[in-house]
Amino acid sequence: MCLNGWGGKLHEEILPYLAKEAPDVLCLQEVVHSPETDKDWLTYRDGDHILPQRANFFRDVMRRLPDHVAIFCPAAQGVLWDGDTTIPSQWGLATFVHKRIPIIGQVQGFVHKSYSHDGFGEHPRSRSAHAVRVFNAELSRPVSITHMHGLRDLRGKMDTPDRTAQARRFLNMSQQVALPDDLSVLCGDFNVEPRSETLQILKEVGFTELVTGRGFTSTRNSHYTKPVKYADYMLVNDESAVKSFDVVYEPEVSDHCPLVLTV
C-alpha cells in the first residue's frame, strides 16, 4: 500500500483502516514525528496555509501495526505550534514492513536538496525517498520497493528542471537497492500529472504505470477540491507479476487515495 497520510489529519479514519488492512508493506508519505511532546495535535503554519497535524503520527501508526518493522525517513525538522508555543517536529516519510518479511537491503536519501535541520525551508523543500529490498517467499524472489513524496511547487504540477532531476535521483535510488532480476515497484505522491516528464523517465527504463494504465481517473477524493485529481502513482517493471491493483476511494482516510498492489 502506498498512501500520503495528510499528516494524520483524518486520524480517526486512517488508523483503524491501516490496522484492519495491515498491508505487508506500507509506504506512507507526509508523516509527522514530534518526539519531544506527548501532545496529540499541533498546528502547521506556512503563511495562510494552516493545517492540523497529528503530532506523533509516526508513533500512532507504529502502535496500530505492532507486527511491522517501522522506518522513519525525515526530510526536515521545523516547528509546529501548540497555541503560541513552538514544538520541534520532524517531517518526512515512513516505511512499514511486516516482521515475517525479511528486509535484505535498503537505501535512504534525498531526491531534492538535503536534510534541513533548522526549519522546513523555502519551497520547493527538501524531499527524501526510501528504498527497501525484501524477500518474497511466495514468489521465491526479491521485491524492491522505492517511494518518495515529490516536490510541491506553488506554481502547480508542471514539469520543471527540479522535478526532472528529482525523477533521475529517485530512479537511481531504486537502482542502488534493486538487482536486475528483482520485481521492482516505484510509488509515492509524485505531485505531477500523467503526461509528466517524471513518469516518462521511469517508463523509458521499463516501468509500467498502473494508475492511468488501468483506467483510474483520480487519486484524490472529496477532501481535495482543486481541479487536478492526479498526484499518486505506482509503477512496476514486470506487469505480469501483478495479481491486482486498486485505487481505494472508500473509506476516505486522507485527501489522497490509498494505492494497493498485490503481486
Instruction: Give the DSSP H/E element, type plus range, for residue 16.
Output: helix 11-21
Q: Above pLDDT 90, what percent of the chain? A: 91
Measuring CA to CA, how many Å separate 47 from each of 34, 57, 212?
21, 23, 34
Q: Which of 127, 116, 124, 61 is nearest to 89 (CA)?
A: 116
Between CA 111 and CA 130 the distance in angstroms is: 10
Between CA 180 and CA 237 the distance in angstroms is: 10
Find the radius of gyration of the CA atoms of the chain.
17
Model pTM score: 0.96
C-alpha cell at 159: 514539469
Instruction: Please say whether the beta carbons of 196 and 157 come within 8 A.
Output: yes
C-alpha cell at 95: 516505511
- β-strand pairing of 25-33 with 2-4: parallel
Between CA 136 and CA 152 the distance in angstroms is: 34
Q: Which of 127, 122, 48 is nearest to 93 (CA)?
A: 127
Q: What is the pLDDT along the chain (263 residues), one digit of tens a residue?
A: 999 999 999 999 999 999 999 999 999 999 999 999 999 999 999 888 888 899 999 999 999 999 999 999 999 999 999 999 999 999 999 999 999 999 999 999 999 999 999 999 888 899 999 999 999 998 899 999 999 999 988 888 999 999 999 999 999 999 999 999 999 999 999 999 999 999 999 999 999 999 999 999 999 999 999 888 999 999 999 999 999 999 999 999 999 999 999 99
Between CA 237 and CA 173 the distance in angstroms is: 15
**Residue whose grid cell is 487536478:** 228
Q: What residues does each domain of the chain span?
A: 2-262
- Specify the CATH number for 2-262; select among 3.60.10.10, 3.30.70.140, 3.30.300.20, 3.40.930.10: 3.60.10.10
